[in-house]
Each structure stands twice: as C-alpha cells, then as structure tokens.
C-alpha cells in the first residue's frame, strides 16, 4: 500500500477482504519516505503514489487519493483536501478552514460529495484505476467520534442525518466513496 495512513490501511484492508480475502495489504515501507502529491487530479495523485511504491519495492502497489468537493465552494477543497489549510496542516486545521469558508451558507446549499480514485500498479507496469463517489451535505457543526478527516461534518445522503463519524466502520464502508472505489477495483482485478 502506498499510504502510511493507518486509518486508510484499516479501511482498505476491510473492504478488500470482502471481495479478495487472499490479498494482503501491507503499509508502505517507512524507508521509502513520502512522495509529492502534486498531480492536478485525484487520479494523477493516486498513480504518482502507486508508481513510486511499485518501482521502489518491486511489488504491486495500491494507492488512492480522495477529495471533498463542496458545491458552495466551487468544488473546493477537491484535490487539495489533505492540504486545504496549507502544506503542513493537520485534519483539525483543514476542518476548521472548511467550516469557516462555509460560514453562514444554509444547509440546503451545503451539497458536497466525496470522491476517491484508487490506482493499482503491477510489477509489469500495467495500471488499473477505479473511482467511487458518495453524495451528501456538510453539517453546520462536527458530530461523531469515529472516522477521520472530514468525516465529522460529511452527511451522506444514504445515511442522513448521520455523519460518517457517527456511523460504525462497517456501515460507513458499505456506502463510502473509498469502499465503492475499492469494490469497483476488486471487480477489475
């Protein structure tokens, strides 16, 4: 796996285990370090990471990139979701910036979607992409203790009024953008 994010590793392993129980997901070796996610799209970033780890480790690699697209913000933070509050920002700062940017935007105008693109790069150089989207809205205040990133404010249409952070991991994986992308990917492998 090209990510060192432990939350992401657990989520990816849980979803892929359903469709591909023989596949073992291991985190990126720490000695490989980070790779710059400087692509213009989510697909670009997923491929950058998967190619880097595959080339360095000589093993098939899976990577993803996720963006939160908020309609009232013209699609922002989008591809910059992980660095929305700046290159060294943490999830709390990103969430604070999002909530400040939305300010007094009323709930009906807080429509948004999470989009994930998953990339697999195989040792022979072949590449497989899959994506997943979940529509929803942005809550007026964070709610819930589970999940990570923007989960406390994202209310998926299919589970309203719950935020992702209020849902069990199993329930979230059934409807999440990453879960959908991974299931689409499993169907192509």
Q: Which of 104, 127, 49, 109 is nearest to 82 (CA)?
A: 49
Q: Which of 69, 147, 78, 77 is nearest to 113 (CA)?
A: 69
pLDDT of residue 121: 95
- Identified catalytic residue from 65, 90, 124, 131: 65
pLDDT of residue 2: 77
User: What DSSP assignment string belongs to 19-86?
Assistant: H-TT----PPPGGG-------SSHHHHHHHHHHHHHHHHSS-EEEEEEEEEEGGGTT-EETTGGGTT-
Domains of the chain, CATH where assigned: 6-188 (3.90.950.10)
Q: Which of 187, 138, 142, 184 is nearest to 160 (CA)?
A: 138
pLDDT of residue 135: 98
Which residues contact residue 84 at a Cβ distance below 8 angstroms, ignoring those fewer than 6 apart? 76, 77, 94, 97, 98
Query: To the nearest 10°, the Cα dihedral for 134, 61, 146, 72?
Result: -40
Active site residue 65: yes
Q: Which of 51, 187, 182 is nearest to 125 (CA)?
A: 51
pLDDT above 70 as % of the chain: 98
Question: How confident is the model over 131-170, as pLDDT tens digits?
Answer: 999 999 999 999 999 988 999 999 999 999 999 999 998 8
Q: What is the pTM of this model?
A: 0.88
List, for the chain, all residue ranges whose pLDDT scores fall below the cut of 50: none
H or E stretch at 182: helix 177-188
Q: Which of 68, 63, 95, 92 is nearest to 81 (CA)?
A: 68
pLDDT of residue 22: 74
Q: Are 63 and 53 in contact (CB under 8 A)?
A: yes
Peptide bond into 161 cis (omega under 30): yes
């Amino acid at each position: 796996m090209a990510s060192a994010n432990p939350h992401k590793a657990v989520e990816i392993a849980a979803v892929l285990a359903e469709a591909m129980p023989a596949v073992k997901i291991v985190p990126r070796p720490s000695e490989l370090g980070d790779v710059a996610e400087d692509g213009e799209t989510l697909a670009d970033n997923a491929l950058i990471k998967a190619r880097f780890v595959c080339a360095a480790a000589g093993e098939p690699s899976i990577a993803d990139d996720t963006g939160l697209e908020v309609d009232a913000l013209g699609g922002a933070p989008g591809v910059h979701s992980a660095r929305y509050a700046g290159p060294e920002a943490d999830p709390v700062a990103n969430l604070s910036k999002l909530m400040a940017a939305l300010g007094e935007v009323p709930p009906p105008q807080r429509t948004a979607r999470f989009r994930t693109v998953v990339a697999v790069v195989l040792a022979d150089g072949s590449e497989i992409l899959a994506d997943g989207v979940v529509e929803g809205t942005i809550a007026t205040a964070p709610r819930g203790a589970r999940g990570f990133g923007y989960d406390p404010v994202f209310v998926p249409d299919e589970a309203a009024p719950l935020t992702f952070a209020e849902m069990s991991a199993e329930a979230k994986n059934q409807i999440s953008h990453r879960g959908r992308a991974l299931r689409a990917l499993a169907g192509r492998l």
